[in-house]
Amino acid sequence: MKKNIILFIFFISTICVVHDVAASSSLNVSTSGVDGYVYRLVDKLVAARLVGNVIYGQKPYSRSEMARIAGVAKANLDALEVKYGEMSHELPEYGRYLNLRSYILPIINELQEKYREESIALGFVEGKTSSIELHVVEKINFDFQFMDSPWRRVPRTNGRGVVEAELNPFVDFTGGRKYVDGFSNSAEWTTWARFSKFVVLNLTPRVDVLILDDGNSEGGATLQSVYGKFSISNFELEVGRDEIVWGQGEHGGILISDNARSIDMVKISNDHPFRLPSFLKYIGDIKTTFFAGVFGSDWNGENHPIFTGLKFSFKPASFLELGVSQALIMKDDISFKDGVLEFFGYRPGIGITPSDIVLGAPNLTNRLTGVDMRITIPQMRCTQVYYEMFTEACCGVFEWLWGYYGGVYVPRLSNSGNLDLRIEYRHFPPVFYRNGTLTAGWTLDDRILGDPLGPQADGVYLSSNYDINVNNTLRFQFAYEHYSADRIGGTTENPVVTESKPKEDRYRTTIRYRRKQNNYITFIVTTGYERVKQFNFIRNNDRNNFLFQTILSLNLDDFLTYRNRSQ
């Protein structure tokens, strides 16, 4: 078994090293934390057509990848400056260029300053790199939140499998951080170190003080992330707790998002997109990731179940990204051979069959398989249309077994790009994220690993960001969600509703204001209101929910960092 594991890792590693990049090992940039806004900055560089080889479907990006994107964009912006410098300043094209440049250049400068060490290592910025770096406290975030919004359990079973999860849409996509119906107060900081250009270590603790609505209080500490990463050429080996965010949405997608806490795992991948040699170059830019992790010993009675997945993303054309992925939750006592067979859909002794979603079915795994895609339309200000679809079973009625997720993102609603718009629709059938044997379903610590909307639900989402200026951003979000708790009977090929229950509807709006006061202080203020009809599927049980949150982020890197300049 060990020999097979080594051969598999060697195969993936060979793919990842094909393209050589002179970069050093670097931390990953969280999509759920305070710094998650930088992914929107990347969107703006892509929308300005300054960088093209960006893979959206696999995150988080590393600091080095962020530096590469900013460096390529700066080089292309400089080339445009030469082109338009020779043009008459009276032409409309020159005015549009100046408008774009005045918005884009501060973005590039911010990214290159934020990831300066990595930009130097890649050759985009002049300076000396460090052989050793110790960031004692790079940043500390103080989070104060009041939420008048009770958590609700997802219906445990509807006759087609079981899931153990709870939801509170105000705090979706927060990386499993603890928030209560009441007051939630926390402090979270990042400590990290780099040793040579090959090894980087990260530690992100979080301390919570929670005061519940009923007057009780609780506190505790957790590790939001803790990992070590070894990098050589374009190959990365990561061990520890960190995010896996796969999908075309802002926070991932159907398979794995940043809704639940980070995963304890071993991960191998390529840091930067690469192209294969010879005629295989026509596959386009490629990113491949494989991970194998474990859950806690208290995961619904299972002793450290295994969570593993593989994703292959590629861009056969500059306007098209495609991805194929699969992930499984497996019983801890499964053999390596049976695990591999299950991964490819072959159940030992039975053959190729659908995943079992019936209670008590003799299945060793819970598997999700699917595809995602993104199409960019340059003629429409680089508007992006994306879609993904996944299934728990290969056979049966499409609308009962397949979950799908689609969206349209307009990154340049204004000429410069300081105003954008995103519209999404999500649908998940009754069997989704449920399982008949692994009865916690597709969850970790009661949070759904994929999309928090959960099974038997539909949602429509609209969001828009407006950059008032380089330091002030306003974000508006609206959501409508429809949930069902109907009981389902029949067969996979012929499912029927056996018991109809009241439906729950949610109408939610949030407004977020982000202000960067200076290089050391950032404020984030969020307010929200939600109208819930027939809460918890109880007729006439309507309620109003409210949210108020403020985050104070202090950048201490200039004061608490040691660097040994080597070259």
pLDDT value, residue 409: 98
Token digits of residue 476: 């508006």
- pLDDT band for 113, please (50, 70, 90 cuts): very high
Per the CB < 8 A criterion, the answer to whether 71 and 124 are in contact is yes
Would you say residue 233 has pLDDT above 90? no
Pick the range with the lowest mean pLDDT from 33-37, 93-97, 108-112, 333-337. 333-337
Residue 548 neighbours by CB under 8 Å, 6+ apart: 145, 146, 147, 526, 527, 528
pLDDT value, residue 94: 74
Q: What one-character DSSP code corresponds to residue 350?
A: T
Distance CA 463, CA 482 (A): 18
Would you say residue 86 has pLDDT above 80? no
Residue 397 neighbours by CB under 8 Å, 6+ apart: 492, 493, 494, 495
- pLDDT band for 356, please (50, 70, 90 cuts): very low
Residue 223 neighbours by CB under 8 Å, 6+ apart: 203, 204, 205, 206, 241
Q: Of how many residues is the chain composed?
A: 567
Would you say residue 294 has pLDDT above 50? yes
Would you say residue 172 has pLDDT above 60? yes
φ, ψ of residue 453 to 5 degrees: the values are: -55, -40
Q: Which of 293, 248, 290 is nearest to 450 (CA)?
A: 248
Q: Above pLDDT 90, what percent of the chain?
A: 71
Token digits of residue 524: 């984030």
Write down the mean pLDDT value for the chain: 89
Would you say residue 46 has pLDDT above 80? yes
Which three-class secondary structure state does DSSP give residue 114?
helix
pLDDT value, residue 440: 87
Would you say residue 376 has pLDDT above 80? yes
Mean pLDDT of 362-375: 86
pLDDT value, residue 345: 63
Which three-class secondary structure state does DSSP give residue 17?
helix
Would you say residue 81 has pLDDT above 70? yes
Half-sphere exposure of 48 (CA within 13 A, CB side): 31
Q: Which of 234, 198, 283 is nearest to 19 (CA)?
A: 234
Q: What one-character DSSP code corresponds to residue 300?
A: T
Per the CB < 8 A criterion, the answer to whether 223 and 241 are in contact is yes
Distance CA 187, CA 167 (A): 23
Would you say residue 80 has pLDDT above 60? yes
Half-sphere exposure of 65 (CA within 13 A, CB side): 27
Would you say residue 536 has pLDDT above 90? yes
Would you say residue 259 has pLDDT above 90? yes
Q: Above pLDDT 70, what percent of the chain?
A: 87
φ, ψ of residue 253 to 5 degrees: the values are: -160, -140
Would you say residue 444 has pLDDT above 70? yes
Report the 10 Å Cβ neighbour count for 495: 20
pLDDT value, residue 255: 96
Would you say residue 423 has pLDDT above 70? yes
Distance CA 328, CA 107 (A): 39
Which three-class secondary structure state does DSSP give residue 421?
strand
The amino acid sitting at 6 is I
Digit-coded pLDDT (tens) for 117-133: 999 999 999 998 888 99
Distance CA 266, CA 263 (A): 9
- pLDDT band for 565, please (50, 70, 90 cuts): low
Distance CA 365, CA 302 (A): 12
- pLDDT band for 410, please (50, 70, 90 cuts): very high
Token digits of residue 190: 């990042």
Q: Which of 128, 125, 73, 130 is nearest to 103 (CA)?
A: 73
Q: Distances in Å between the alpha carbon of 49 and those of 78, 122, 263, 306, 376?
A: 13, 21, 34, 41, 11
Report the 10 Å Cβ neighbour count for 491: 10
For residue 423, list its beta bridge partners: 408, 462
